[in-house]
Structure 1
């Protein structure tokens, strides 16, 4: 599959069974289509990015201003497109869920859009940025219930 098709698939936000990903469930199809059009037009620029963070920043610049597209959608699209390009996040990108999880661990994330894995307590800091992002987001409520 070429990059343009990968971008289109990423922005359609459907899994291999055609089911819309829960993170994008409430986003209207026209918003996803607009994001896909802008990103397909930027395919050459995306291909030229050497790391995930540069590619993520380009996505944010291209689609972040679309009404209905927020930091979580930018991150999700970047991870899907990044898989095609062989790029993985090196930072933990702070969207709503990861921010809640980081705060539950007592981290001060005010004014921050990302964390480095080493800023988190062991053993979390030993995981990849993508693994940490998943844990902070998925287990934000459980992390808040942990004793300090």
Structure 2
């Protein structure tokens, strides 16, 4: 993913945090998922992440990075689960800590449910729980596909269920 390459090549963790908080692409445009962010949310996220950059720098895995960001950012008004996942993925790219499981948020939950995967009360699903067609993909690519194609997956799954009756 081009977006992750941008974050991976930033020169310092502080610059990565700035870019993550701003939710902007290399060309300065806002990422689609974050187009409704208020400046006060961005400012507070930046402040909190910079204040905690040493803990962020030392995370051993994406799971730990996500847990730290979830704990730090959830109390911030406007920092919702999609923003937190995206922030973790982008910082993970800089830190070379990428997800090995598919993290669930509103869009990915819909996509996973359309495939018949039980997702209630779950934060993630293992790649192995998905149909084998997903196996060539990395966990973050699967997350993107489930979210992006959730409506198509619902439609196809609904048709399959009707035919199997």
TM-score (norm 2): 0.87
**SS, match of residue 123 in structure 1:** helix
CA distance in 2, matches of 1:125, 1:116: 11
Which 4+ residue blocks in structure 1 deviate beyond 2 angstroms? none
1:56 maps to which of 55, 66, 86: 66
TM-superposed CA distance for 1:136, in Å, is 0.1
How many residues are treated as equivalent by the alignment?
148
Give the alignment's Cα RMSD to 1 decimal.
1.0
Q: Is the Cα–Cα contact under 8 Å of residues 15 and 21 in structure 1 kept in the other structure?
A: yes
Corresponding position of 1:19: 29
- More deviation in 71-80 or 126-135? 126-135
Gap regions ≥5 residues in structure 2 = 1-10, 161-165
**SS, match of residue 106 in structure 1:** coil
TM-superposed CA distance for 1:127, in Å, is 2.2
Q: Deviations over 1:1-39 (max 9, x none)?
A: 210111011110111111111111111011011011101
Structure having the higher Rg: 2
TM-superposed CA distance for 1:126, in Å, is 4.1
**SS, match of residue 84 in structure 1:** helix
Asked if 1:65 is matched to 2:99, the reply is: no
1:101 maps to which of 111, 123, 131: 111
Asked if 1:33 is matched to 2:23, the reply is: no
2:95 maps to which of 85, 106, 113: 85
Corresponding position of 1:134: 144
